[in-house]
Amino acid sequence: MNSFGHSEASYATETVLGVGVVIQREGRYLLGLRRSEYGYGTWGFPGGKVDMGEDPLAAASRELLEETGLVLTDSVATTWRTGWIEPGKLRHITLFVEGGSTGAPTCMEPDKCEAWSWFAEDALPANLFEPTQLYFSRAQRMGSPQRGRQ
C-alpha cells in the first residue's frame, strides 16, 4: 500500500492516451475489424494514440481520416475509460470522441484494419476491442450525447 491507500499493483510504469472515435449513423455504430497486434481479431472504434502535445480532438479527427477516409464533424469528448495493455506495466486511457462524419468508410490502413462495418447496439459482435466494450457498458454510456444523435 502507498500513502494514499492504493495497492502498488494498480500503478503503471507507462500510460498511453488514446482516442476512440464514435460515429453513429441511422442507429448503427462504425466498427473496424482490427489487424494490429493489440486487439487483433476484435471489433473497435476508429482511433489511436494521441501524439505528444496534440489536442485529443485533433487526434480524433486525424485518426478517423487516416483509418477510414472520413472527415469528423461536430465532435465532442464525452467520456474516458482506462484499462491495461500489459498489466502492471502499460496502462491505456481512452478518451471517447463522439461526432458525425462525411463520406463512406474505406480501409485506408489494411495492415491495421481488415474491414469497416456498421452495427446496431443490440447486434454488436461478441468480440469487441476492450476499450470499445467498456464504452458500451451501461454505466459508462449514461448521459452520452450520442444517444440523441440518430
Domain membership of residue 3 (yes or no) is no
Quick check: 135 and 45 in contact, CB under 8 A?
Answer: yes
Instruction: Report the share of the chain in percent with pLDDT over 70.
Output: 85
* Residue 53 domain boundaries: 8-137
Inform me whether the pLDDT recorded for 56 exceeds 50: yes
Domain membership of residue 144 (yes or no) is no
Tens of pLDDT, residues 118-148:
999 999 999 999 899 989 985 345 555 454 3
Q: Give the pLDDT confidence score for residue 83 in this predicted structure.
A: 80
CB neighbour list of residue 90: distance below 8 Å, 6 or more residues apart: 12, 13, 14, 15, 16, 84
Helices and strands (H, E) in the chain, number of each type: 3, 7
Instruction: Report the share of the chain in percent with pLDDT over 90.
Output: 64
Residue 146: closest CA among 82, 81, 79: 79
Q: Which three cell numbers stand for residue 130?
A: 476492450
Tens of pLDDT, residues 66-79:
999 999 999 999 98
Domain membership of residue 117 (yes or no) is yes
Phi, psi at 60, each rounded to 5°: -60, -45
Chain centre to alpha carbon of residue 94:
6
> What would the mean pLDDT of 47-69 be, rounded to a whole number?
97
Q: Give the pLDDT confidence score for residue 147 in this predicted structure.
A: 42
Domain membership of residue 124 (yes or no) is yes
pTM: 0.83
Q: Rounded distance, CA 132 to CA 92, Å?
A: 13
Which range (12-16, 82-86, 97-101) has the least confidence? 82-86
Domain membership of residue 15 (yes or no) is yes
Q: Rounded distance, CA 21 to CA 108, Å?
A: 16
Domain membership of residue 148 (yes or no) is no
Number of domains in the chain: 1
CATH classification at residue 120: 3.90.79.10
